[in-house]
Every structure is written in structure tokens, then in C-alpha cells.
Amino acid sequence: MNSYLIVNGPNLNMLGKREPGVYGSASLLDLENEILLFGEETGIEITCFQSNHEGDLIEAIQEAEGQYAGIVLNPGAFTHYSYAIRDAIASVTVPVIEVHISNVHRREEFRHVSVTAPVAAGQIVGLGFAGYRLALLALMEKQGGEEFEGRKNTK
């Protein structure tokens, strides 16, 4: 399977307008185009999805099972408190890498906690948009049955 899903959570549709000092001046469309181009260059298929709604994100994760070799997920602020998204990640075998554009550890204390990271295959923070490409590279490298720590990649 050669398809990967990019999921961006709440307020990431505001990239470019939202706190440019933290997130930069590029838009969500710029981010998605950058990722799609990377997909073309590396010969993988990419689907991008964004929602401000917790249930939509949960459904996207659930429905990815059997459809994608991996998910790159930026859950936005849900990272810090959504047990429902955590449970969705834990309920699928498709590996999920959590990405944050900003360095959450240099920011407010509530952002230092991720309830989703313990069930993700890995986490990348603070590397801007490059984090999404790096997450895809890690997923591609692991594709074909190798294991992330504690989570078998069956796709």
C-alpha cells in the first residue's frame, strides 16, 4: 500500500493568518501543496484532510484502517486533552505519527502534555512544515511490516 493520509485538526485552516510569529505566513493550502509535491517526488499517494470537529477527525482515523499505510496527524489543541482522538488512534493498526508545527515545549505549559502521543508511533515537534515530510519518510521507511516500537505495521 502506497497511500498516506494527512490529517490536520482545529484552527490549522487558519495557517497564514493565525499567529504568524508562531506558525509562519504560509497557508494550509501552501502546506498541502508542499506535501502533495513531496508525494509526487517520492512516488506515494497522499490525501489531505482538515477539520475543526473532533468527530470528523475520529472518523477520518477510523476509516483510514485498511485504506492507508500511515497517517500524519496534527490534532491541534485536541492533542492536549482529547481522549476520544487518543482512543481512535489506539483502535486502528495503521501507524500514526503526530506532528506539531511549533515547538510546543517552548510554549505554554498546557501544550507540553500530549494525550495522543503515547498511542502514536512517534512525534515530531517544532520543525515547521518539514515535520510532515519527515513523518512521511519515517512511515515509508517502516512500511512493509517493520515495527514501530510496540506497534506492528501490518499495512
> Rounded to the nearest whole angstrom, what is the least distance from the CB of residue 147 to ligand DQA in the complex?
26
Q: Alpha carbon of 99 to those of 71, 72, 77, 145: distances in Å? A: 10, 7, 12, 22
- Catalytic residue, from 4, 23, 68, 132: name it: 23
The answer to whether the Cα torsion of 141, 146, 150, 152 is positive or negative is: positive
Q: Does the protein bind ligand DQA through residue 77 (CB under 6 A)? A: yes
Active-site annotation holds for 132: no
CB 6 within 8 A of CB 32: yes
130 sits near ligand DQA (criterion: CB under 6 A): no
Quick check: 101 binds ligand DQA (CB under 6 A)?
yes
Distance CA 24, CA 2 (A): 30
Q: Are 136 and 72 in contact (CB under 8 A)?
A: yes
Q: Are 52 and 82 in contact (CB under 8 A)?
A: no
Q: Which of 2, 3, 11, 52 binds ligand DQA (CB under 6 A)?
A: 11
Contact call for residue 76 and ligand DQA (CB under 6 A): yes
Backbone angles phi, psi at 93, to 5 degrees: -90, -15
Residue 97 binds ligand DQA (CB under 6 A): no
**Catalytic hit among 100, 105, 112, 132:** 100
**100 is annotated as an active-site residue:** yes
Which listed range, 34-42, 52-60, 94-102, 115-123, lies at the site for ligand DQA (CB under 6 A)?
94-102
* Contacts to ligand DQA by CB under 6 A: 11, 74, 76-77, 79, 100-102, 104, 111
